Amino acid sequence: MAKKKQDTGPEARLPKGFHDTDAAELRATRAMLDKIRSVYERYGFEPLETPAIEYTDALGKFLPDQDRPNEGVFSFQDDDEQWLSLRYDLTAPLARYVAQNFQALPKPFRRYATGTVYRNEKPGPGRFRQFTQFDADTVGTDSVAADAECCMLLAETLEAIGVTRGGYLVKLNSRKVLDGVLEGIGIAPGADGDHAKRLGVLRAMDKLDRLGTEGVALLLGAGRKDESGDFTAGAGLDARSIDKVLGFLSAANASRSAALAALSPLVAGSATGEAGVADLAEIDSLLTAAGFGDDCVAIDASVVRGLEYYTGPVFEAELTSTIVSADGQPMRFGSVGSGGRYDGLVQRFMGQPVPATGCSIGVSRLQAALAALAGGAAKAEGQGPVIVLVMDRAQLPRYQSMAQALRSAGIRAEMYLGTSGMKAQMKYADRRGAPCVVIQGGDEIAKGEVQIKDLIEGAKAAAAITDNKEWKEARPAQISVAVSDLVATVREILARHASAA
């Protein structure tokens, strides 16, 4: 008789596009967020936190289609059958908040926010379905000085987290300039019949850095089949229109002034396009006055941003250093920061024009890119806790008292809570990254002393000692002190290593 298959329970597996975050990465993220926050605060932005869940219709007409409520976002129905969605970004919730509190807010309203966002889309290198963003937005002014400030903010933020000037580039363009080009090929921005075609063109252009000119040309025309065999329908432009769009995308120059000169003839005769070039010229003058040259902010016509709600200047920040994977292959992380003007987003709720602009740092993607540049995973900042070893379980109150004395002095410390012996406890301390351990057995208790083993110095000494006898005689980095000197001695060890680091 065959044995009945044992039910082993569900398989422990992680959903595609998501990842677990360990202590080292969490600390690295926290350090990065603190640096970004300091820049945003310096520019005068105030913090705001909105919920992770919004009504789906509040996210905007670009997300999702009414007959496909899960397209692009993670959605579900509440018990009243209304659709709710996990936020796709931090901008749509801001628009809802401003509309609800408009009369009470200062104008312009300047806020920053950080939090997790969720996208129901295909994951890739550094591209997750759950990730952290850090946004700054100015609502209530149509001055392009606010757009110039976003470019400055992106540049200063990247420099604050350690990316030197020349290692990044903020690329700037304008949707008005793009609309002027589209008008030239017969696609009117406000015409209902051209809406789908215009959106298809925008999405195709936004993929230039990933698919190249040939791939974009296919998406502007009949469509494109990717490596997996999936087919994406194109915008349906004719050959002449495709050539004109590709010509516009290639209008990138070494300087902002040269780029402005190249863009002007492409939009001649279009009031919208000419207004866009004028906006870019004013932003250029503001950036120059603030000391942000062509080496950190450039005008690049290939920046279009895929989201439909952008109405004016748009920008993207990219790392320019070559990033190579563990197997030696070049990696593309795309933009690590982006944004633009979205004058119609708040208007959806209020029925009146409310201009706004903002930028967003993709913290998760930026962190992954910086880790790849460094050649490994994010490293923990700081040390693990000091471990008080348990040599005699009958003395637990004594060990707990020592751990608490260290904590009261502001030192991270814990008493070993397992039941294993000395060897296993030392292995545990090593895995926890403990800078030192506190040891007190019967002999030390009788003398009123503790032994403190400096694991960092011990590791250095061990690397230099090859003879077992020499190791035993040296007892590297292990000292005995009076119990009353425990806190002061541990503090001295930690300070020494912090100074060396």
pLDDT digits (tens, 9 = 90+) for 453-467: 999 887 666 555 566
- For the chain, what is the mean pLDDT? 87
Mean pLDDT on 391-410 = 96
Mean pLDDT on 418-443 = 95
Distance (Å, whole) CA 172 – CA 357: 13
> What are the structural domain ranges in the chain?
23-374, 386-500
pLDDT value at residue 480: 95
pLDDT value at residue 228: 80
Whether residue 192 is predicted with pLDDT greater than 70 in this model: the reply is no
Mean pLDDT on 333-359 = 90
Higher confidence at residue 278 or residue 306? 278
3-state secondary structure of 339: strand
DSSP H/E element including 128:
none
| 386-500 CATH, one of 3.40.50.800, 3.40.50.970, 3.30.1330.40, 3.40.190.10 | 3.40.50.800
Distance (Å, whole) CA 107 – CA 448: 66
Distance (Å, whole) CA 423 – CA 403: 20
pLDDT band per the 50, 70, 90 thresholds, residue 53: very high
Distance (Å, whole) CA 239 – CA 217: 9
Decide whether 23-374 matches 386-500 in CATH topology. Answer: no
Q: What is the pLDDT of residues 84-130, one digit of tens each?
A: 999 999 999 999 999 999 999 999 999 999 999 998 888 876 578 99
Q: What percent of the chain has pLDDT over 90?
A: 54
User: ω into residue 108 within 30 of 0, thus cis?
Assistant: yes
- What's the Cα-to-Cα distance from 233 to each of 186, 191, 194, 225, 304, rounded to whole Å? 20, 21, 16, 9, 19
Least confident of 45-54, 303-312, 418-427, 435-444: 303-312
Whether residue 64 is predicted with pLDDT greater than 70 in this model: the reply is no
Higher confidence at residue 133 or residue 498? 133
pLDDT value at residue 160: 95
**Single-letter amino acid, residue 235:** A
Distance (Å, whole) CA 170 – CA 318: 6
pLDDT band per the 50, 70, 90 thresholds, residue 185: confident
Task: Choose from 145-159, 338-352, 377-391 the range with maximum mean pLDDT.
Answer: 145-159
Q: What is the pLDDT of residues 289-322, one digit of tens each?
A: 999 999 999 999 888 876 677 899 999 999 987 7
Q: No. of H helices and E strands in the chain?
A: 17, 18
Q: Which of 215, 211, 297 is nearest to 256 (CA)?
A: 297
Higher confidence at residue 179 or residue 34? 34
Phi, psi of 261 (to 5 degrees): -65, -35
Pairing of strands 356-362, 130-139: antiparallel
Distance (Å, whole) CA 266 – CA 263: 5
CATH topology of domain 23-374: BirA Bifunctional Protein; domain 2 (3.30.930)
Give the E-state strand segments of 96-241 in sequence order: 109-118, 130-139, 168-174, 223-225, 231-233
- What's the Cα-to-Cα distance from 499 to each of 221, 462, 486, 492, 493, rounded to whole Å? 61, 22, 20, 11, 10
pLDDT value at residue 327: 66
**Single-letter amino acid, residue 36:** I
3-state secondary structure of 246: helix
Mean pLDDT on 264-280 = 93
Distance (Å, whole) CA 261 – CA 263: 6
pLDDT value at residue 297: 96
pLDDT band per the 50, 70, 90 thresholds, residue 67: very low
Mean pLDDT on 154-172 = 93
pLDDT band per the 50, 70, 90 thresholds, residue 382: low
Question: Please, are residues 225 and 242 in contact by the beta-carbon 8 Å criterion?
Answer: no
